[in-house]
Amino acid sequence: MEVADTLSLRGPAPIHHALLLGREKTGISVQTLHPKHFDQGTVLAQTPFPGLSISNVETCTPSALTDALAPLGAQMLVETLRKKLHVPPYEDVGWYGKQALDAEIAHAPKISAEDRHIRWNDWGAETILRRNRVLENLWDDSIYSRYVDSAEQGTKRIIFHGWEEVEFSTDELLELSKVEKLEPGVPFALGPPKSEMCFPTCDQPPRFLKVTSCTIEGNPKGTGVGALMGLLRGMRHSARSWRTECRVHELNK
C-alpha cells in the first residue's frame, strides 16, 4: 500500500509541486501499489470532498505541509488496516479522479537540480521567491563567468539561500537606469555603501530582488555576497580605467 499526499498530483513529489503550482487544496489517499505504473493503484481511502485547505498557502513550505499531513495519513492508514480494506477484492473509493477534469490531474516528477536552475528570462520575481521557498538553494552558473575568465577558473555555480524584494519609486528607477544595466539576471550594487547585491527580474514593469545570502561553488557557505560584490567593483574599476585610457589616447593624438 501507499499513502499519497495531495489528490490531483501523481508522482514522487506531489507536495513540492502542489506548492509550486499554488494549489489551495490538498489531501491524502491510501492506495495499492500498481504492478506496472507508479501512483496508479486502487484508492482504498481518500480525504473527503473537497479536500483539505492548505493554511498560509503563500508562505507554506514542504516540511510544514508534510508535518500537517503526516498524522492524518497515519490515522487514515490505521483505519484502512482496521477495516481490512487492503484485503481483496478492492473497492475503489477515490472521488477525485472521477469528478475532476483530466486537465487538473498533473504529473509530479522527482525534484532535480535543474528545477532549481534560475531562468532569468522566464521567471519573474513571484516565481523565484516561490521556488526559493519550496525548493531552496536556487542556483545560476552564468553570473560568475561575467566577472572572471571562465577559461582559466572554470564555471562556478552561485547558490542562493535567501532573497528579499526591493521596491523603487519611478524617479529612483529613472536615476538607476542611467547608471545600471537593468537586465534580468545582471546584478548591481545597492547601497550606500553599496554592500548589497540586487537583481532585476523579467517582470514588466521590472521587479528587483536583493540577495540576502549566497555561496560561490567551492567557497565557504554564505560568503558569496561579499565575494561577488568584490568582483563587481573590480570589473567596474577596470571599465573606468579602460575608458580613461581611451580618453587620454584620444587627447594625445
Q: Whole-model pTM above 0.95?
A: no
Name the H helices within 135-223: 144-147, 150-153, 170-179
Domains plus CATH for the chain? 2-107 (3.40.50.170), 115-251 (no CATH)
The per-residue pLDDT for 44 is 92
pLDDT tens per residue across span 88-101: 999 988 876 555 54
Element (H, E) at 212: strand 208-216
pLDDT tens per residue across span 24-83: 988 898 988 888 877 778 889 988 888 899 989 999 999 999 999 999 999 999 999 999
Q: Do residues 10 and 121 make contact, with C-beta atoms less than 8 angstroms apart?
A: no
Q: What is the DSSP letter of 2?
A: E
